[in-house]
Structure 1
Amino acid sequence: MPEPARPAALADIDLSDLRFWSGPPGERHEAFARLRAHPPVYFAEPDLAPIPRGPGYHALVRHSDVVAASRLPSVFASEPSAISIPDMPREFNEFFGSMINLDDPRHARVRRVVSRGFTPRMLAKIDGDIARIAARIAAELPAKGDCDFVAEVAAPLPLAVICDMMGIPESRRAMVRENTAIVLAGADAEFLGGDGDAAAHRLLTAGGELAGLLGELAAERRRTPVDDLTSALVNADIDGEALSDQEIGSFFILLAVAGSETTRNAISHGLALLTDHPDQRALWWADFEAHAATAVEEIVRHASPVTWMRRTLTRDHELNGHHYAAGDKALLFYASANRDEAVFTDPDRFDVTRSPNPHVGFGGPGPHYCLGAHLARREITAMFRELHRSAPGIRATGEPRRLVSDFLNGIKTLPCAA
């Protein structure tokens, strides 16, 4: 369908143009503010040859629209894909499908089985692992002097926690780290490189290696179960339901990517925010535990690590006065919703005491609210608690080097000094 005309005030905004996502963050926030004043807006899809270019998508940029669509999964469906604007080849969804790209009843089945792996005993072990790993990372930091905060602090914690949860041996963790970075590389040539065909091949290879690792581990855990999440998943049987090897592999990709990369970016954004807002840092540091919960939520709101998710209309529907047709694509822009003036007072201000804070940094309400939200909160809190104890003077010493991506608000490197 042809792209509908948009107000002249929005003519210079193109959410499908990589240049929009390569510019200063402040310019994007200003553009989203203008979009929120004239919703909804329709955009042509990006050219991702050799993938066929689709008909376009609606940008849902207001908090109320994102929340309303999230609460209507029977209308705003996650199938065929929640994580790509174009309809991707079958091989892509095979490796990256997991439950994030599923609707009920399939989504409910996988989530039910996966949730059973997070028993009280497993969660208690995870809490202990998070505290131990965060304490070690923070204690070693002062001796490192000037260093990259992402590589030395933000990345190691969530990766180690997830690999410990799944029982990934130390010898395979470098491969997991490299491939998760490729999966969420967006359009960043540093990770994908080459033309569209080469990038797609590298992406599928990364997914295949991650899925293959879990296939090997699943077979081993069926023979000899141990006390880890992989054993719980492969041996789960709920009313006759179990996960296939493909579902387990896809879940691991989701856990490794969403649980590792996004938490890493939230922690990285957190240090940048505390450096840029020393008054808020002083307030939090003066009574860490009193402000920890609200500070973590504010970091997630500001960072919005996942910028959007796609939904596809299953039928004609009217939402907040706008008509959507069956088959239409809609992108739920969490990054915009989290700065909606109608919901957040002075939304660009970083306030570690902000409450209430109904952000959608972990997705909107409904069945696709992030399964790992509590884990992410625990990791972010633990990491800053240990930095407060062991490296209270830590600060960013330069600007972050950002990932070129419309999907992930990523930070590749962030110079720091403890």
Structure 2
Amino acid sequence: ALFAAFADGTSRIEHFQVSGVTRPMLQALTSFGIQWSLDGETLTVEGCGISAWKNPTFPIDCGNSATTLRLLAGAITGAGVTATLDGSYGLRRRPMDRIVEPLRKMGAVIKTTPGGIAPLTIQERSVGQKLKPLTYDLPVASAQVKSCLLLAALGAEGTTLLNEPGPSRDHTERMLSSMGVTVNSYEVETHNTLRYMVELTPPNPLKLLPLNMSLPADPSAAAFLIVAALIIPGSSLTLKGVCLNPTRTGLLDALQAMGADISLSNQHDAGGELVGDLQVNASELQGTEVSGSLVVRMIDEFPIFAIAAAVANGTTTVHDAKELRLKESDRIAMLAAELRLLGVEIEEHSDGFTIQGGKLQGGTVDSHGDHRLAMSLAVAGLAAESPVTVRNAECTAESFPVFAEILQKLGAAISTEG
């Protein structure tokens, strides 16, 4: 939706899902004067070009989504309008200096709360004033930060070059390329270490092509169903039309290394993204080790990966995942605390955890308002020796509103209250 708002003309997006993440984005577009309509799962956006955005009257509420705030910060900077971005109490604790610093290097004027957190106020630029192109080394591989800077770079005069230590998600690069923007990605080896480079040169004149696309199934949502099928004896599940972008398939690689019976078929290109079907069969999993570049490719899937590790034979160790402490919750600490309540032997590390596989017990656990933790604990309940109750599970609506409904349709004994 955000990319369509930058286009010149009408974009049509099929299979669009309204959730706690996408709803604030649509509301934000209205604030910028962008017209859109939703007919079932078909979203139509009347793009007016990057230079025609209006200053919103009120602060933009990004809910609990750091993705929404960071992408909007880049888009607002690129468009050159004035806006304040705010959100929930949890979002106000997320670090935003990682986008504020490079945006300021491009010439953006940004006011933040002390500590570099939300709310953020971005000031408009003078008419005709361009941003400076940016050459920047990202300290941590982050698709959110990278995408923020690429959107801002659309308002720069010249080529922006970003340098990452790992291969973060590249959906933004693919989509901008399909809209006529020159985006080049390549690897550079320095001192026996691979760096991942992205160059963006805005078109002149700055006119982006509208989108006409069908969204594939989200691999992060599919992850919960995949692990559920793997750990419940006798299960067999087919998932169709799942995004298989190589930067998003780290969980599949990790699970297959554990002995998971997962096969891919019908792989094809859809709007610049690799899409295919997955066949998942219940499997006896073995412990494994996850570190390095694989971590970046499955950074959002560690809560559900931990459930697979908890029922696997042997030891599973995760390192190089310190970024998990900066998510909707401190996912390392919260995972450890809640899994211990289910009888899991888990040890925290500063940058990960170690799990001794075994059996899951029943009990009452808490999501701490983290949607991915809530769904992971619910999946744990499906394989536990007695029922598991997940408190504060309403947060699943943030990214997967029909999570419980789909599991029920698949035959899972799951119920909701409230």
Q: TM-score range by the shorter chain?
A: under 0.3
Higher strand share: 2
Per the normalisation by structure 1, the TM-score is 0.24
Give the structure-2-normalised TM-score. 0.24
Higher relative contact order (CA 8 A, sep 6+): 1
